[in-house]
Structures are given as structure tokens and as C-alpha cells.
Structure 1
Amino acid sequence: MMSLALAMALLAAPAADPASSAPTSPAAASPVPVIFDTDLGNDVDDALAMGLLHALADRGECELLAVTTTKAHPLCAPFADAINTFYGRPDVPVGAVSVDGVLTGPTTFEGRFLKLANATNPDGSRRFPHDLSHDPAEVPDAVPVLRRALAGAADGSVAVVQVGFSTNLARLLRSEPDAISPRSGRELVAAKVKRLVVMAGDFAGGGPEYNVREDRDAAAALAENWPTPIVWSGYEIGVALPYPPESIEQDYRYAAAHPLPESYQLYKATPHARPTWDLAAALYAVRPDRGDFRLSEPGTVTIAGDGGSAFAPSEDGKHRVMLPPTQAEAARVVATFAALCSQPPRGR
């Protein structure tokens, strides 16, 4: 019988052209520049989504320009740096949800797995090495990190993935010209961003979704003022795509210490199958044309006073929402998630 890991790998592999040994067009395309904005520590799917993006970067499909964090805890940004370091990218810029070095954002509690940023080996060395300070005053603010990443990118090239609160991106839109760029934040976004993919909202009638509810004003500002197309991946998408617990238990054994399964088990131990809200947004941002997700027609998302979200079709709308997957689509996407997340980092 074919192993689960092999089956997942086969499902995740890009299709080959039987008539030619040349790479298929997606593999030959330039890597997608990606900015990942995350509330890492509130749920474990953020960590899994980071692993997925690093795997896609190892495959040449994307380039991780920056990671910015929207959880206002001192260990959030350092643990993001630890994950980047584990995957061989210690120099990816990381910014915190801070202003002048002071954390100012939602959710200040530590969560269940950010303590891994402090974990040590018996000899006293870090279990997950990183060099970002645990003192927020010494961690770059997110807005300058975002502005620098956008200013250095080609026009119309960047995919921004927001899987936490809208705090950082709303602040980016309000930012003024500075030494990084003579453009305002909104002008930088309009010039540099190709698409924004947001894990936020509930478009199946479930009520205010967590990411929107916890910073409603920022989410509304993002929906109203972001100048480029937005794809919204709602609560109902991740719920339909539970991560297979057997992958957590079996597929990461190539590393004695691995931040993804350890975070997962600390968050909620297997056999729990965690919904993959953030992974859906990350995968679509890099692979929008692979047929993994179906989208609505164009329209506009509005955020209500209580944090509820609604989508209305319109010919001139810049927003689309992901449609819930069929059973067959869900099986394929979940297999892709597991294969990419558990892919050994480059060099291991």
C-alpha cells in the first residue's frame, strides 16, 4: 500500500508535460515576491503557513520578502525569526506590531507555543536558533519593514498575505513619505502590490470572525481603502480543510527539533485535526492559477459595526471571496498542505 506521505507528495507535485522534459510554465515563472503578515501564536496554522511558504520558496515558486507580526507579545516576532532561521532564511526581515518600539496591537497573551522561542537544549543552546531580540524596543516596527520591502520590489509584483489582524496593513496605508520612499503607504501599495490575500471574515453566516472582531476598525479601513484586488479567505474555508494529524506524527521526523509539529502539539495535541485557515490564503497567494480554489465573481466586502463581514457582487468591485471546496477539492488541497509543510528545508 502507498504510504500517506508518498500519496501526499504525489498529489502536491506539479503536473508534468508528457510530451516534453522541459519544465511546466508555473515552474519556469519567476518567483512570486511575498510579504507575510501574521498573528503567530494565536493559532498554530500561522506556523504551518510559514512552513508552506518556505517550502514554496525552496521550490523556486516564491521569495519571502518580509514577515510582519500583529500579535502584541514580545515572543511573537522572535519565534517568526526562529522559523525563518530553521528554514535557512535567517535574514528575512521581521517586523513587530509596534510604534517606536512599543508593542501596540491586539492580543497580548503569550499563547501556547511561543515559549519555543526560549526553548534550550541540554547544553544551553537555543533549540530553535534566532537572533532577533526579545526586547520589543530592539525589534523593527512593522510599517518601516513593509515600506522597505515594497519600495525594493518591482512594480505590480508583490503578493501580500494577511492571516491575522489588519493592524499593520491599515497603518501602512496611513504612512507618510519618508527616507525609505517618497511615496505614501497607499501609493506604495498601489504601485507594488499585485494582490492581497486575507484570511478574515465569515461569508457563510457564522457571525463576526476572530481576526476582524479583534481589530474591527483596521479591518474596515483595509476593506475600504486598499487600492489593489483583495481575495478574502473566510472562516468557512479553513474549517473545510483540516490538517491530517498523522502527518504531524509521521512526516517531520527528519529533524530532531522541528518548530511546526512542536508548535502543533503544544497548541492542541494530536489526534486533533486543526483547520487550515492561514494555509489556504498562503497557497492561493503563490499559486492563484492552479485551480486549488474557486472564487466568487467580483464585488465588495464590507465590515459591519460588530465585525461581521458581507460580500456584495458588483461589476467594478475589487474583491472576491473564496468559495467552499467540494469534497474532492478539499482532499487534494489538504494533501498539498501536508506535503509542502512537511517538506524538508533546503540543505537538510
Structure 2
Amino acid sequence: MKILSGLFFIAILAFSCKTVARQQKAAAPVSVIFDTDIGNDIDDVLALQMLFNYEKQQKVKLLGITISKSNPRVIDYVDAYCRLNGYNDIPLGYAYNGVNPEPHVYVPVTLDTTINGKKLLFPKRSIADSLPEGYKLLRRLLSKAADQSVILIVVGPETNIARLLRSGADEYSQLSGVELMKKKVKLVSVMGGMYTNEFDFPEWNIVQDLDASKITFSECPVPLVASGFEIGDKYRYPASSILNDFNGGVSNPLVMSYIVYQKMPYDRQTWDLTSVLYAIEPEKNHFDLSPAGRITIAADGKSVFSAGNGNQRYLIYKNNKDAVLNRLVQLVTGK
């Protein structure tokens, strides 16, 4: 009986150790690279704040940020915004000779505003620091990552991603861009395209760098999930949250950026936020998913989905506006 009892105890102990190991593995932060065109729309800033808050909760490890907007002041803004959140050394990459070189409004205003003699943002990196090309940073970060461990969240033009896919062997890896992505990336969560009949125009991110979009969707070797224009249009981030949920009021760079982007009060679509939400919380079923298939970018920039042979899907609205919007506000505010 003592022998049996001992064996039973060992079995229970072994089971408990395996259970703890599984829980620890499940709780490990998700490795993320964020590709953004901050400056073109304000939802990029809210999406980046989501990722910082996820990281503070140890749900995400943000490996780096690649900038697809080709305006040098965006480097200053992103660097300073990272520092504001305590991430002083996060790797940055930049799409030299990319699209959208115009500064737009909130990046320069937020960088240049002073309140009571104090600036809102304090960048230390700029175009003068010779940041790596976005695709080169992607190659460096992916080469160091564990296999099938990285999620790419892409919320602007696909410039950096297409350049990665078309890249060859270099000092970081002997693999081609397609091979490197296939080995290291487990998911691409992209804000791009339209997948319902609610709207009849090509989606903005897709047409900004149309060739890059065609390359990304046709050559991506790993599962890709697209959040279409119609998804982010359903959930509008409330101006009331901007005005009430952030410390510092207009001295908070997120608040300043939001209120100068458009005339207040306005509730902004959450296009980029939905790509982040799906990427980090797929198990919570905030959205339905299409069948697996392929997304093709037509000559006019419209996205065409064909079910069947492929590993690409798009998000489908579940008539759960309040629940998802409340979750997005929680994640942006950190409350």
C-alpha cells in the first residue's frame, strides 16, 4: 500500500508540474512587431497605446516598430511617444522613399506644442540617426526570434512588408524574405481592404502603395487575417474617453494629438485597434472569421476574397458593438 501511495503521489506531482508548465507557457508574452503609418490617422496612436498597455500587463513583448509613413518627423514622434511610455530603446525602422511624405497635422503640432514652457514630447532619435530601413529591421528582429513566434501587426501601407518579402540573404540571415517570414512569423494581422458590400471604393491603406499591397497578399507565406474597413467603421472610439480618461488633459500627447486631428468632439473609427485586438486576443472571439482562402488585390485596389485554397481570412462583425468598444477603451486607457 505504501508503494502504491508513493506512486500515486509521484503521478499527481508529475501531473501538477505539467499543468504549471502549460500555464506558464500559455501566459508567455506574445512577440509582436508593429508596422504603422502614424501621422496619417489618429487610430495608429491609440493602437500603439494599446500595445504598450498590453506589454505592461506582460501579455505582449513589443520587439520593434517599423514606420511606413515616409515623413522624418514621424520618427521623432514615435521615438518620443515610446519614451513617454517608458520604452526608451525599442528598435525603430523607417521606410525611406516610401509613401505619404506630407506631415499632416497632429505629428508636428504635438511635437512643437509647449504648455507652461514645457514640451509635451522629448524625442532623442531622428532621421539624422540613420535608422535602418524598415525591412532590414524586420530581418534583424525575425532572425533572432524563435521559430513561429512572431505576430506582425500591419496597420498602414504594406511598404515595409513587401520589401521584406522581396529581400534576399543578408548579414542577418541567409534566408530570403519569404523563407524568413515562413520560419519566424506565425500570423500577420493587417488592417487593409474591404470584405462586404457596404462600401464601394478601394480601402485607403491598400491603394497608398498598391504594388506593395499586391505583393504582401500574394506572397505572404503564413496565415494572414485582415480587418477590413467595415470592421473599424462599426466601432467608434468615444471623444468622451479622450476628454475624461487620460491624466493631464491637453498636456497628454495622446489627447493633444487626438483633439488637433479633427474638430472635437468626434468619435473616430477604430480600424487599427481592431487589428491589434484580434492579434492579441483571438481566443476571446470578438469577431467571427471568414473561411480560409486567398485575398487578391485588384488593379483598382479593391480586395477580392476567394474561399478555398489558402490561409488568409478576414474579420466578420458579430453585432457586439458595445462589448468590443468597451474592451477597446479599457485597453487604450489601461483602466
TM-score by length of 2: 0.88
Q: Which runs of 5+ in 1 are unaligned?
A: 1-21, 99-103
Q: Which has the higher helix share?
A: 2
Equivalent in the alignment of 1:146: 138
Extract unaligned runs of 5+ from structure 2.
1-19
Q: What are the within-5 Å matches in structure 2 for residues 79-94 of structure 1?
A: 79-94=77-92
Please name the residue that 2:285 is paired with.
Answer: 291
Residue 337 of structure 1 pairs with residue 328 of structure 2: yes
Corresponding residue for 1:324?
317
In 1, the alpha carbon distance for the partners of 2:114 and 2:174 equals: 44
Structure 1 residue aligned with 2:155: 163
Q: Percent identity?
A: 36
1:59 has 2:57 as partner: yes
Instruction: Return the offset for 1:257.
Output: 3.0
- Which structure has more relative contact order (CA 8 Å, sep 6+)? It is 1
Tell me if the contact between 1:163 and 1:281 (Cα under 8 Å) persists in the aligned partners: yes
Deviation at 1:270, TM superposition (A): 2.8
Moved more, 174-183 or 125-134: 125-134
User: How far off is 1:308 after superposition?
Assistant: 0.6
Distance 1:144 1:78 in 2: 20
Q: Residues of 2 paired with 1:118 and 1:180: CA distance?
A: 37
Matches within 5 A, 1:123-272: 123=117, 126-135=119-128, 138-205=130-197, 206=199, 207-253=201-247, 257-272=251-266
Would you say the 8 A contact 1:237–1:325 is kept in 2? no
Aligned 8 A contact 1:27 1:61 in 2 = no
The structure 1 residue matched to 2:38, chosen from 37, 40, 44, is 40
CA–CA distance in structure 2, aligned partners of residues 80 and 26 of structure 1:
32
Aligned to 1:108: 101
CA 1:194–1:165: 2 relative to 1, 3 Å: same
Distance 2:176 2:80 in 1: 31
Question: What is the DSSP-based 3-state SS (H/G/I as helix, E as strand, rest coil) of the residue aligned with 2:282?
Answer: coil
Give the aligned length: 312
Asked if 1 retains the 8 angstrom alpha-carbon contact of 2:120 and 2:253, the reply is: no
- 1:118, distance to aligned residue in structure 2 (A): 3.7
The answer on whether the counterparts of 1:50 and 1:83 sit within 8 Å (CA) in structure 2 is: no
Q: Deviations over 1:112-145 (max 9, x none)?
A: 111123444555x64212211144x723221111
